[in-house]
Amino acid sequence: MHTQTNDALIEKTRELCETILKQPEFQAIRENMDKFMINTEAQKMYQELSEKGQYLQHKQEQGLQLETTEVEAFEKQREKFFSNPVAKNFVDAQQQMHEMQDQVNQYLTKTFELGRMPEAKDFEGGSCGSGCGCH
């Protein structure tokens, strides 16, 4: 069902998206992500590190002991990855993007939860609200 209310929400959502796109922080995030996407060496390092990390995690979940040499090799690989500026900036950009998304989501969630525009005090104390099930 398509209503005028939906149209208004879509329009305001589009305005929010435009505002996000215009933020200098967002521009820097996109630039760092784009640099990573054209750097095959950094992508290969990322893929290899991810696969090794998943392997070690799976092994640990199976109750198997991680060998010192495996952990040391992973740490060396991790250090090498983070010494690559394109790779490090990509990971930082991902983190910043998640933080932006989380901030927007927190405001949306609080708005639905409270039925009003949230205020700064509504985010204090680390509580996620009475409807979240953690209380």
Residues 23 and 44 in one domain: no
Question: Quick check: is 129 in a domain?
Answer: no
What residue numbers bound the domain in which 49 lies? 40-83
Domain check: are 34 and 45 in the same one?
no
- Same-domain status, 16 and 28: yes
Does a structural domain hold residue 132? no
Residue 45's pLDDT is what? 97
Residues 106 and 95 in one domain: yes
| Cα dist from 61 to 56, 57, 65, 75, 112, whole Å | 9, 6, 10, 19, 37
pLDDT of residue 133: 46
Angle, alpha carbons 95-101-107 (nearest 5°): 135
Residue 86 confidence (pLDDT):
97
As a whole number, mean pLDDT of residues 1-12 equals 80
Number of other CB atoms surrounding residue 119 within 10 Å: 10
pLDDT tens for 28-73 read 999 999 999 999 999 999 999 999 999 999 999 999 999 999 999 9
pLDDT tens digits for 103-134? Answer: 999 999 999 999 999 999 999 875 454 455 44
> Rounded to two decimals, what is the model's pTM?
0.77
- Tell me what pLDDT residue 121 has: 93
Number of domains in the chain: 2
